[in-house]
Structure 1
Amino acid sequence: MNFDADYTMTIDGQGVAGASTFPVINPANEQVIAQAPDCSREQLDLAVAAARKAFPKWRATPFEERRALLQAMAGAIFANLDGLKRLLTLEQGKPFADAEFEVGGAGFFLQGTATMDLPVTVNEDSAERRSETRHVPIGVVGAISPWNFPVILAIFKLGPALFAGNTVVLKPSPFTPLTTLKLGEILRDVLPPGVLNVVTGGDALGPWMTEHKGIDKVSFTGSTQTGRRVMQSASASLKRVTLELGGNDAAIVLPDVDVNKVAPELFWAAFRNNGQICIASKRTYVHKDVYEPLSKAIVDYARTIKVGDGSEQGTLIGPIQNKQQYQRVKDLIADSKAQGHKFLLGGEDHDGPGYFVPLTILDNPPEDARIVNEEQFGPIMPLLKVDSIEEAIAKANASEYGLGGSVWSADTQKALAVGEQLETGTVWINETQHLSPTAAFAGHKQSGVGVENGVEGLLEYTNAQTIVVKKATAA
């Protein structure tokens, strides 16, 4: 397969050019690397019609056959891993190693999803009747994936949606459409026509999907602000929705930690994927007894990290993915400068092409600062000093977000007692950002609606159906 050209949408199992095209930019040098197809409203109608046409047969496909096809999808991804990872680095900016981890992780998540089963609950089995509740597919799913992890977050949706018996119209971010288009091309040889359709386009395409009468459910990953608009649009036809939205995750560091051991782990908790992760640690609360040595250890470690073009050897952190987010991160840093916050590292402007922001670590900014309250989604780490763990818990929970959080301590049980008090969908103890295809991942508060992954995430793509059979009575 040629990964450098011929970018077409997948509609009803066929490659389809867009009604027009739009440019895709390499964030490391701001150069246009390709033209992606721009889907028209009429082409979206065709994709939805193809999904609707394919749905009855796909729904009737035996569950074990769908399980085998998910495994085949994973095998196709693994077979094309090198080409997909290089294309992902080109359009997203992340280093090759991170791109390989993401693409390989997509295959792993498909394999993990394929190990699950849809539960059947027997409600009554008496002399008079048998009642059981099973779970049936919803119909056509509109899946909208983001630019920070375009491959694996698309698979978070495709795996369970297809496994449950739905058909899908998938739309990636216009900032990172190329790898998803190639993924659609690869899977044309695996899935029946119409079961998976991939369309790309600009800002109009997402709203067209969320309001489309032929789409029964929308699964969206992105910002909380956009998620609210998706939910509002979907409400007109009572579409089912799964919304995985923003986060402002807190890390809480107890005073008994091994400073030198935990410093690199806390660094990557904040800076992995250049901080462009919904579950990155965006507020790090450190007990006053270890604040000074831990701050120094994190800054010292940060100085060893190479930031640059993801395709260059030795690069560990790439650029911000797009100009819009780049400007937003720069604005947050400028606001902190204007407010007189202390910078332990970074804060300066990047000189040269590419959307690069130097790694930035702040020393105990005020709790009401924008750089603490807002989701930075960039290479920024506010270190916050607390006098007690009770104070850290209260501040961690004083947020409109509730996606994830972490607790760090030499005493696992003590850390667990703290973690159980966090108002978040996921809590990690002495690690962060570990996700599993078989473990539920959900946001509390403004961080989302519904669940991804695990049996709970699989059920999001189904409707409950109770069947009651009255038994023949004895004479």
Structure 2
Amino acid sequence: MPDLEVRNPSRRSEVVGTVREASAADVDAAARAAAAAQRGWAAEPAAARADALVRAAARIEASADELGVLLAREAGVPVAEATREAGGAAHLLRAAAELAATLDHADEHDTAGGGRIRVGRRPLGVVAGIVPWNAPLGLAAQKVGPALVAGNAVIVKPSPLAPLAVTRLLGLLAGELPEDLLSVVNGAGETGSALIAHPVVRKVSFTGGGETARHIMRAAADRLTRVHFELGGNDPAVVLDDADLDLAAERIAQTAFRRAGQICYAVKRVYVPERAATDFTDRLRARVDALAIGDAVDPRTTMGPVNNARQFESVSALAERTRRAGRSVLELGAPVDETPWEDGWYLRPALVPDADHGDELVTVEQFGPLLPVVSYRSEDDAIAMANDSEYGLGSSVWSADPDHAFAVASRIEAGVTFVNGHVLSPDAFRLVPFGGVKQSGIGWENSPAGLDEYLEFHSIDVHPVPPAR
């Protein structure tokens, strides 16, 4: 199979590296080797499996700077944030290791007449993880950690648009594991199809878009392979009448334009009271205008390019259609350096302050640095508009009154609703089941619920035997 070139979205003329594209035969060999390795791994105590993850987390942290630079060059993520993502991957492995304490326990019950019931959990076997390009280190760790600590073997297929850093990270993790237990198969659609269809793969965990998820689900149906999907979102931020507008503007700008808006649960539409709309938009505009767009490895850069040609063309076309519909598209921010601008997939961050709830930009997941602001008259209207979407991944409510915010948050249709923020806190990675409702996904990651995604029940029901006569 040919090597796949990985180009730098900040400097498209630069080849960052290459990976070997795995053939169907390569996938078969990896899957069968994983199945053989998994049997011994499942027999290890859960605490021993957890210790391996903790050792791997230390190795990853020691390599965080190297991983961050590599991710910045291949994915266009500003280098400081890319380095934090590497550290976050280590944190996710430790969080998964903490869950091991629940695994060696089985529920046992004595039943009437001298019977006994035991309810235990077992690993699935071999799990496939398919990881996207936008946050590959964190998303890989989010899948691999719980799957491994549960006793499974894992095969990961990264996106061909950003395979280098995640392949390196998983290599560091594999160095603390039995041979063949964790492997990486690089490639595009054919590699993924071979992995999904392989008879030893018991589950496919995929993060990405709905179109690909439907393809995976159809392919998985032939073998009744289990699936877990973390898909797109169109996250609403609902700014209430009593919100701190400075705080809301600052934090919404941070999350909406983080990674050039290419995060599944970034803020993608903002609802603000009519009376505060101009004031809030002015504050938001000032913060977005302070963004510095440039090469991801330049420490001055606070927003890098979008990752690839498809994203560039899609977001550019959506912005142009929004202009033609009569809306104001305010392009903000400033380039760090004009020199590489034409050689990268650069877009200016843009606000649309006069958007309407029915606009295309409000109803789709733009997945780019283009943010609509919609005004509302009543709180009930804001909640209704926030819920009027086929998506339901993240969401946020902004208020100076915690009780008021909690009451509104309880009415939002989403997997998670944040209050006065729009990002998972460190403790949330351990405690909050992350996933979506409606078209935003099936199943959960993180927390004990995320561990359960990689286990199946096995129960023993002992019937009493009548005494001999």
Please give the range of the TM-score, normalised by the shorter of the 2 chains. over 0.9
SS of residue matched to 1:451: coil
Moved more, 407-416 or 349-358: 349-358
Give the residue type in structure 1 aligned to 2:445. E
- 2:445 corresponds in structure 1 to 452
Matched, 1:227 2:209: no
Matched, 1:133 2:119: yes
Moved more, 30-39 or 279-288: 30-39
- 2:383 corresponds in structure 1 to 393
Matched, 1:292 2:274: no
Matched, 1:254 2:240: yes
SS of residue matched to 2:136: coil
Q: Deviations 1:360-405 (Å, cap 9, x if unpaired)?
A: 1002222222211110111111001001111010011110001111
Query: Alignment partner for residue 55 of structure 1, among 19, 38, 42?
Result: 38
- 2:369 corresponds in structure 1 to 379
Equivalent residues in 2 for 1:257-406, closer than 5 Å: 257-346=243-332, 352-406=342-396
Q: 1:122 Cα shift?
A: 3.5
Matched, 1:89 2:72: yes
Matched, 1:75 2:58: yes
- 1:242 corresponds in structure 2 to 228
Asked if 2 retains the 8 angstrom alpha-carbon contact of 1:73 and 1:190, the reply is yes
Q: Distance in 2 between matches of 1:172 and 1:143?
A: 8
Give the residue type in structure 2 aligned to 1:54. A
Alignment root-mean-square deviation, CA: 1.8
Q: Distance in 1 between matches of 2:230 and 2:363?
A: 19
Asked if 2 retains the 8 angstrom alpha-carbon contact of 1:252 and 1:406, the reply is yes
Cα 1:110–1:247 change in 2 (3 A) is same
Q: Distance in 2 between matches of 1:56 and 1:463?
A: 15
Q: 1:269 Cα shift?
A: 2.4
Give the residue type in structure 2 aligned to 1:415. A
SS of residue matched to 2:16: strand
Q: 1:295 Cα shift?
A: 0.1
Q: Deviations 1:178-200 (Å, cap 9, x if unpaired)?
A: 01221233233211011101110
- 1:425 corresponds in structure 2 to 415
Matched, 1:464 2:457: yes
Q: Distance in 2 between matches of 1:210 and 1:427?
A: 32
Matched, 1:143 2:129: yes
Q: Deviations 1:405-424 (Å, cap 9, x if unpaired)?
A: 10000111111111100111
Q: Distance in 2 between matches of 1:186 and 1:398?
A: 44
Asked if 2 retains the 8 angstrom alpha-carbon contact of 1:248 and 1:373, the reply is yes
Percent identity between the aligned chains? 37
Q: Deviations 1:25-83 (Å, cap 9, x if unpaired)?
A: 10001122212111111111111111111121111111111111111121111121121
Query: Alignment partner for residue 203 of structure 2, among 185, 200, 217?
Result: 217
Q: Deviations 1:331-375 (Å, cap 9, x if unpaired)?
A: 111111121211233499996220111001002222222211110
Moved more, 416-425 or 258-267: 258-267
Q: Distance in 1 between matches of 2:379 and 2:106?
A: 44
Q: Deviations 1:201-227 (Å, cap 9, x if unpaired)?
A: 122211221122221110000011211
- 1:438 corresponds in structure 2 to 431
Q: 1:127 Cα shift?
A: 4.7
Q: Distance in 1 between matches of 2:374 and 2:117?
A: 55
Moved more, 55-64 or 242-251: 55-64
Q: Distance in 1 between matches of 2:52 and 2:183?
A: 16
Q: Distance in 1 between matches of 2:308 and 2:107?
A: 47
Q: 1:473 Cα shift?
A: 6.5
SS of residue matched to 1:130: strand
TM-score (norm. length: structure 2): 0.94
Matched, 1:22 2:11: no
Q: 1:132 Cα shift?
A: 2.2
Give the residue type in structure 1 aligned to 2:8. N
Q: Distance in 2 between matches of 1:222 and 1:436?
A: 19
Give the residue type in structure 2 aligned to 1:461. Y
Q: Distance in 1 between matches of 2:109 and 2:395?
A: 37
Q: 1:328 Cα shift?
A: 0.9
Matched pairs, number: 457
Moved more, 228-237 or 145-154: 228-237
- 2:187 corresponds in structure 1 to 201
Q: 1:469 Cα shift?
A: 2.7
Cα 1:93–1:360 change in 2 (3 A) is same
Structure 2, unaligned runs of 5 or more: none
Structure 1, unaligned runs of 5 or more: 1-18
Q: Distance in 2 between matches of 1:328 and 1:135?
A: 45
Asked if 1 retains the 8 angstrom alpha-carbon contact of 2:80 and 2:299, the reply is no
Q: 1:437 Cα shift?
A: 3.1
- 2:25 corresponds in structure 1 to 42
Give the residue type in structure 1 aligned to 2:7. I
SS of residue matched to 1:465: strand
Asked if 2 retains the 8 angstrom alpha-carbon contact of 1:333 and 1:347, the reply is no
Q: 1:474 Cα shift?
A: 6.8
SS of residue matched to 1:467: strand
